[in-house]
Amino acid sequence: MSNATLVCRRAAGAAIRRLPVLAFAWLVGATTAPADCLVSADSSIRELQSLVSQDAPRALQEVQLQLEPLERAPLPDRHRLASLYAVQASAYNILELDGDAKAAAMKGLKLVPLAGDPVRLDLLTTYAENVYDAPGIESALNSIESARATQTPGSLGDTCLLITRGLLQNRQEKPDLAISSLTQAYHASTTPEFATARVLAAEVLSTVMRSAGDFTQALALNEEVIESYTQSGATLNLSVSRFLRGKIFNMMGQFGAAIEQFAAARKLSVQVNDVQGVAFADLLGCSAHVELGLLDRAASECNNALQMFTSSRSLDEVKETKALLARIDLTNGRADRALNTLNEVLDQRGADLLPARVLPLYQWRARANAVLHNYRDAYADLSEYARRYESANDAERARQAAALRARFEIDREIERNSALKHELDQSREHSERQARELRWNAIVTTLGVAVIALLIYFLVANRRYRHQLVKLASLDGLTGLPNRRRTAELATAALAHATLAQRPLTVAIIDMDHFKVINDRCGHAAGDFVLKEFARVGREALRETDILGRWGGEEFLLILPDATLEFALASVERMRTLVFGIRLPPSGAGLRVSISAGLATSQRHGRSLDEIVARADSALYVAKNEGRDLVRVAEEGYLATTAVRRAIRIS
């Protein structure tokens, strides 16, 4: 992916060993590498450099063919040999072979000892691009500063080194220093011979601005990069730039716009056979579709991405994709499967993942545990989520404050230079100084208000999550009906009210007929569908005051307050008729959905809910024993009126 390869592909297989250093980079999106900033004066080397951005494997083959005779020669052309090693290092870099890239760059550096040689600068920047450990970054920065001492300030070599310095500073989690270096490089790259350097500076600076929350600047810089790559026909680079634009829209919450960019990036990746780029486009597209509630489309994209990441052994991306699939399962009512997946993803409590990725996992697992009545685990996950949420926001505020300071210092320097050039008088300098102080006060005040607002939001969010947990604990995850515990609470309250008001209350136990046969013949998915459809049909057939809850397995409890047996029987018969409309898949040929029910009233022997439910259960047993698809009433000879008895005889 040329200069932007890290954005989409750098993490594959190498992210875990780089985790401590790359944490910030992954939070904001990895920055790009200025590998092509210095173009060779040798036309044959320039052709190879161009081929690298189009087809890196082929470029490696071409380079190897030219390297072999030179390496065997007793007195090789050391400068050309170093140039070929520079192209080789760049190609390895694109293919994410960090060790090979550094080894090739080191071979070339040994051949070009002259500090100011352009080939040496190219090798040095490529080597630095592949350094991720903290000591290595510090050493690379020292080398960059030594090389800059050999360059004229404002020259192309100095500008390319500034871009590399900004990239390394961003990896050190120093966005203020990175913005300063990259802004200098960007403003220095205004002439045609600096065109490549300007695009590279804009590309890296866009990513840093995105991390600082300055989406307007990030989009503007990204648009400049896209326009340049479109004009030059750099398909691979254009794919990455579209991908980056989609990430900016994602962070802005504009998911529709993000999906358009990911689709464009995917199309371009397919054109150049960039499998990893396709996988990342599908992964981010899946995430955006989940946010929009388009779960079927999201699941298709995530499964495609999972297959490709698994093939390339991109372990951290495999976990990220599985986490999204778990979220889809949770939304679709498959809490048990979601919980198993999330337990697998969090098998190391997130130690092998980046903080920004781990944070939502605990929230989703809390929901899954709550649906499955694992309340202690749900509370533990919510507590961990709250702790990580607070820590992440503290870190984000610190990063944004540093970036704001950098922007302020840059603006102040530009204004000071402008004042010197135009020889402004003392009064104007004084006014500008006051204006800058007011701006700083405004920034500090705004940050303070933002912190307070964040704390208030956190408190409100905690209260909302607690409420959500209570709600989840009361519902059946599959049907959305009250679960057994909640149904018993509602029934007990209804019975107490009926007893106090001396009004009738009827209870029905409803059971799905031949449900095991449906499961065995049609599959558990069909069984789940039948239960959900019955819940929907039940809600349509009943009054708002009636209570239908899942009692266990394929059994449901119906409470009809202020309902006589005649009314209750009519309601249940209406449900029994509507159930016939539930369609089974072709594998269920010869089967149909039906229910059996037993009714009991509180008007006689109705002192406790357990007693009424037991009588209704006995009536259900009679209905089942007499052939199913029937409704029977407990103690019919004593309780039912003539109309009820007639209805029972002809049912």
For the stretch 224-247, pLDDT in tens is 889 988 888 877 778 888 989 998
To the question of domain 484-650 being in CATH 3.30.70.270, the answer is yes
Strand 595-601, strand 555-561: pairing: unpaired
Q: Kindly give, in sequence order, each residue whose CB lies less than 8 Å from that of residue 409, ignoring residues fewer than 6 positions away.
A: 176, 180
Nearest-angstrom CA–CA distance, 170 and 31: 8
Confidence of residue 414 (pLDDT cuts 50, 70, 90): very low
For the stretch 335-346, pLDDT in tens is 999 899 989 888
Its pTM surpasses 0.85:
no
Pairing verdict, β 631-633 and 595-601: parallel
Exposed, middle or buried: residue 162 (CB in 10 Å: 0-12, 13-18, 19+)?
buried
Q: Which residues contact 486 (CB under 8 A, 6 or more apart)?
A: 474, 475, 549
Q: What is the mean pLDDT of the chain?
A: 80
Could you read off the pLDDT of 1-54 as tens digits, one per residue?
A: 333 333 333 333 333 333 333 333 333 344 444 446 777 888 888 888 888 877
pLDDT at 594: 92
Q: Taking residues 570-590, what's their average pLDDT? A: 88
| pLDDT at residue number 10 | 37
Residue 559 confidence (pLDDT) above 90: yes
How far apart (Å, rounded) are the C-alpha atoms in residues 542 and 597? 15
pLDDT computed for residue 444 by the predictor:
64
| CA dihedral for 212, 393, 14, 243, sign (positive or negative) | negative
pLDDT of residue 210: 84
Task: List the chain domain ranges.
Answer: 1-212, 484-650
Q: Taking the domain 1-212, which CATH number applies?
A: 1.25.40.10
Number of neighbours of residue 381 by Cβ within 10 angstroms: 23
**Cα-trace Rg, the chain:** 34
Domain 1-212 matches domain 484-650 at the CATH topology level: no
Q: How many residues does the chain have?
A: 651
Query: Is residue 221 within 8 Å of 202, Cβ to Cβ?
Result: yes
